[in-house]
Amino acid sequence: MADIFDVLADATRRDLLHALLDRYVSPDADKRDISVGELVTKLGVSQPTVSKHLKVLRDHGLVSVRDVGQHRYYRLDATPLEQLEDWLIPFLSADFDTSGVSAYTAWAGTEVASTIGRATADSLHQARTVIHDAQEQVSKRLPWLKKK
């Protein structure tokens, strides 16, 4: 597990992963790979730096590579991050109260529903009054529109 933390500890590698993620979630499935040159441009770092960090990510299974002639195209592989997620979940869930108190019980007595109901009824009444007054004004100006 320490290996994945070492990999993710570097800011450039995290930036690369974000760039790869942006491309990976692209709705265009044909554009999920990204070239080293595009990554260099996107991150504003040198090509040797990008290549060095991509090798580390590749060695740890976080990216896959596709060679096309002299060009290499990289794609995110989030599978190793699932191990990280499994490791983090106990820490993240420690803040949750698991005493069995339901959401309904937690909201009981807050009178949120009645407050929202009253506010909705007041707004509805105001809207009806405005519409009624507008209808009366129109009817006065255009008497031929009055209902028979």
**pLDDT averaged over 10-residue windows placed end to end, the chain, 148 residues:** 81 94 83 92 96 95 93 92 86 69 69 79 84 81 66
At residue 91, the pLDDT reads 85
Q: Which helix (H) or strand (E) holds 50?
A: helix 47-59
Q: Is residue 46 part of a domain?
A: yes
Residue 63 lies in a domain: yes
- Which CA distances in Å does 49 have to 13, 16, 37, 101? 10, 11, 12, 51
Residues 63 and 122 both lie in one domain: no
The answer to the question of residue 24 being in a domain is yes
User: What is the tally of structural domains in the chain?
Assistant: 2
Based on the fold, state whether residues 77 and 6 are members of the same structural domain.
yes
Token pair of 33, please? 């790979």
CATH number reported for the structural domain that contains residue 66 in this entry = 1.10.10.10
pTM for this entry: 0.60
Give a yes or no: residue 34 inside a domain.
yes
Q: What angle do CA 7, 24, 15 make, to 5 degrees?
A: 35
Residues 28 and 69 in one domain: yes
Report which secondary-structure segment, H or E, holds 114: helix 112-141
Domain ranges, residue 51: 2-93
